[in-house]
Amino acid sequence: REAGGGSLEVEAVTMRFGGLVALDEVSLRVEPGRITALVGPNGSGKSTLVNVVCGLYRPSAGRIAFEGRDVTGLSDHRIALARIVRTFQDPRLVPHFTVRENLLLGAHRLLRHSGVAAALALPSALEEEARQLAAVEAVLALTDLTAVADRTVSTLPYGTRRMAEVGRALLAQPRAILLDEPAAGLSEAEMERLAQVIRDMKAMGLAILLIDHHMDFLAELVDDVVVLDSGRVIYRGDISGMRRDPGVIAAYLGD
Ligand code: ADP
Ligand code: MG
C-alpha cells in the first residue's frame, strides 16, 4: 500500500437543489499533509460540498480532481476506490455491532472489491485479510478505542461512537479524508484526543478537510481556512486573518 495522500481540487463547483443554490462556484484545494478547515454558518453548504466531492450528488457545474485525475460525477463507490473517504455529520455505524466489527466493515469495503481472489480465499486474499485485521488493531490503538473494541456501539457514549466513525474511515485507507463536524458534541478531553488523531493523519501525509466551528480547537490544528456563506467562499487564508475578517464577522452576526 502506498503511504501518503493526494491533492484534492474543487474548481468552480455549483450545486443546485431545484431553485436553491447550495454551492455557488466554490473553489478550494486540499493538499496532502495539510489540514484545511471548512467553516461557515448553518446551511452555508459545508456538508453539500462533502456530498458532491464524495459522489452522493453530481455537481450542477464545475470540476473535481484528485491526484490530477478528473473525478467529477463518479459514484460514491468509485470515489472510495480513489481513496477519498469521508465521515458523516451523523455517525453511521452499525449500532448492534461491536466497535471492532464496525472497523472491520470499514476495511472490508475495499477488500470486498478485490473480487475473485477473495471469494476463492487464495493466499493473497488471506494475507490481505490478515493485514486488514492488523490494521484494525492499529487503528483501535491510534483512536484509543482498544478498551471498548468488544463493546456494542449502541451502548457507548456519543463521543466514543464519533471516534469509532473516524477510525472506520481510517480503515478505508484514505489518501484524502473529509471530516464532517467530527468534534460536534464532544467533551474537551474527547476533542483533545480527536485533535491528536487528526495530527496523526497529517503526519501520515493525508489531505484533510475538517468541518468544524470551535475556533480554539481549529486554531491549534489547522493550516488553512475556507469560509462559506450561502454557498459562496467568502474567505480563504489563515485562521487569525479569518477572525479579523469583516465579511466573516458579518456572516456570523447575520446567522
Ligand atoms: P451546512 O452543512 O453548511 O450546514 P448543508 O450543506 O447541509 O449546510 O446545506 C446547504 C443548503 O442546501 C441548505 O439550505 C440545505 O437545506 C440545502 N440542502 C442540502 N442538501 C439538500 C438536498 N438533498 N435537497 C435539497 N436541499 C438540500
Ligand atoms: Mg453540515
Domains annotated for the chain, with CATH where assigned, are 1-83+174-255 (3.40.50.300), 96-171 (no CATH)
Task: Extract the C-alpha cell encoding 242.
Answer: 479569518
- If you take atom 25 of ligand 1, which residue's CA is the nearest one? 17
CA distance 50 to 194: 20
Helix (H) or strand (E) holding 202: helix 188-203
Burial of 13 (0-12, 13-18, 19+ CB in 10 A): buried
Q: Looking at residue 122, what is its pLDDT?
A: 65
Mutate to test the pocket of ligand 1, among 14, 17, 51, 53 (most ligand atoms within 8 A of CB): 17
Task: Extract the C-alpha cell encoding 149.
Answer: 473494541
User: Per-residue pLDDT tens for 141-170?
Assistant: 999 999 999 999 999 999 999 999 999 999
CA distance 86 to 88: 7
CA-based angle 109:167:226, to the nearest 5? 100
* pTM, entire model: 0.92
CA distance 135 to 103: 9
Rounded distance from Cα 183 to ligand 2 centre (Å): 12
Cα R_g (the chain), whole angstroms: 18
Rounded distance from Cα 150 to ligand 2 centre (Å): 30
> Taking the mean position of all CA atoms in its chain, how far away is CA 91?
12
User: Per-residue pLDDT tens for 203-226?
Assistant: 999 999 999 999 999 999 999 999
Q: Looking at residue 127, what is its pLDDT?
A: 81
Mutate to test the pocket of ligand 1, among 14, 16, 20 (most ligand atoms within 8 A of CB): 20
Q: Looking at residue 217, what is its pLDDT?
A: 95
User: 230 with 42: CB under 8 angstroms?
Assistant: no
Q: Looking at residue 116, what is its pLDDT?
A: 58
CA distance 136 to 117: 21
- If you take atom 21 of ligand 1, which residue's CA is the nearest one? 17
CA atoms in the 13 A half-sphere facing the CB of 194: 26
Residue 30: CB atoms within 10 Å: 27
* Index of the ligand 1 atom closest to the CA of residue 42: 4
Helix (H) or strand (E) holding 229: strand 224-229
- pLDDT < 70 regions, the chain: 1-3, 109-122, 254-255
Taking phi over 0 as left and psi of -120 to 50 as alpha, with beta for the rest, 54 belongs to alpha
CA distance 221 to 215: 10
> Taking the mean position of all CA atoms in its chain, how far away is CA 179?
3
Rounded distance from Cα 44 to ligand 1 centre (Å): 8
Helix (H) or strand (E) holding 21: strand 20-30
Q: Looking at residue 252, what is its pLDDT?
A: 84
Mutate to test the pocket of ligand 1, among 26, 48, 90 (most ligand atoms within 8 A of CB): 48
Q: Looking at residue 109, what is its pLDDT?
A: 62
